[in-house]
Amino acid sequence: MSNSYWNNILEKNGKHLGNLDNILKKVPFFKELKKSELREFKRIIHQRFYKKNEIIFYEGEPGVGMYVIEQGKIGIYKNFDEKAREELASLLPGEFFGEMALLDESARSATAIALENSTILGVFRPDLFDLINRNPRLGNKILLRLSQLIAERLRLSNNENQELRLQLDNSLMIR
């Protein structure tokens, strides 16, 4: 990777990544990649070990990439501090988070923390853009699937929001 900061904290694809194909095949936007495409994509993946309770990123920080859990458990929190935590999700191996950062550089909407010793794989925006320049067909395939996944999650969020509004309206009518 061209950014030396990330080179210092994440290991480039190599001896420690183990059975990476199986892990990546669990992620919806890598599932349909051919072996040669997956091999090309693996060149931009980085690995890092996080100790229990170590912060991966904080809410409000600029987003630079997404993560796939190789081993361990990751908690996603809103309004995180040491005393109060509003848990949004608890994620396990094969699950991913932070994918919006691949599309834009908006601030993180939540805090991610290792709930146990964990190994995660990072895919970062500059590396993805480099891949797109080198292999536009593969890059576009990944971006299209990522966009579809985000659109699907947005639809689900909109449905949940609508249900909550109906519940709120109903509870206000009862009073």
For residue 132, the domain's CATH number is 2.60.120.10
Quote the domain boundaries for residue 164. 4-174
**Whole-prediction pTM value?**
0.77
Cβ contact 66:99 at 8 Å: yes
pLDDT of residue 20: 81
> What's the number of domains the chain is made of?
1
Give 122-162 pLDDT, tens digit per residue: 999 999 999 999 999 998 899 888 888 888 888 988 998 89
Output the CA–CA distances (angstroms, integers) from residue 38 to 59, 89, 139, 156, in the order listed: 31, 28, 11, 29
pLDDT at 86: 85
Q: What is the mean pLDDT of the chain?
A: 84
Q: What is the pLDDT of residues 81-104, one digit of tens each?
A: 767 778 899 999 989 999 989 888
